[in-house]
Amino acid sequence: MKALKVDHIGIAVKDLEATLKFYQEVLGLELEGTEVVEEQKVKVAFLPVGDTEVELLESTDKDGPIARYIEKKGEGMQHIAFRVSNIEEAIADMKAKGVRMIDETPRYGAGGAKIAFCHPKSTNGVLVELSER
């Protein structure tokens, strides 16, 4: 497997609208759109930066993964996603190299991507997402 580029950086936030003000008014980024991913209990705002993007993640449920993340670690960078050309091959390659996967098979991600997460215990504490678009 070879990562093609940084696809996006996911940032966990409590209040999406308030956080957007900083990224738009201070950093000058433009909001490309938002999407609710019911399966992950999250609302995502997409902010392109060059050929990658920042994804702001707000939980839609008090028991959702982003809400639990914020409760445990606070707001901030939650994950980094790397673009891959074939997610199934990437998952198989990671497993063959001893990387523990949270997702053994791809699932639907924001923006129509097929995604899979690597367990942070296998990636030096960083939640790594593999993303095929």
Q: What is the pLDDT along the chain (133 residues), one digit of tens a residue?
A: 899 999 999 999 999 999 999 999 999 999 999 999 999 999 999 999 999 999 999 999 999 999 999 999 999 999 999 999 999 999 999 999 999 999 999 999 999 999 999 999 999 999 999 999 9
What structural domains and CATH numbers belong to the chain? 5-132 (3.10.180.10)
Q: Which residues pair with 55 in a beta bridge?
A: 10, 46
- What are the C-alpha distances in Å from 47 to residues 34, 105, 125? 9, 27, 25
pLDDT given for residue 103 in this prediction: 97
pLDDT given for residue 18 in this prediction: 97
- What are the C-alpha distances in Å from 100 to residues 4, 52, 80, 95, 105? 21, 26, 16, 6, 13
How much is the pTM?
0.94
Distance between CA atoms of 128 and 1, rounded to whole angstroms? 14
The phi and psi torsions of 125 (rounded to 5 degrees) equal: 85, 0
pLDDT given for residue 2 in this prediction: 94
pLDDT given for residue 85 in this prediction: 98
Take residue 127 and report the two structure tokens written for it.
């939640």
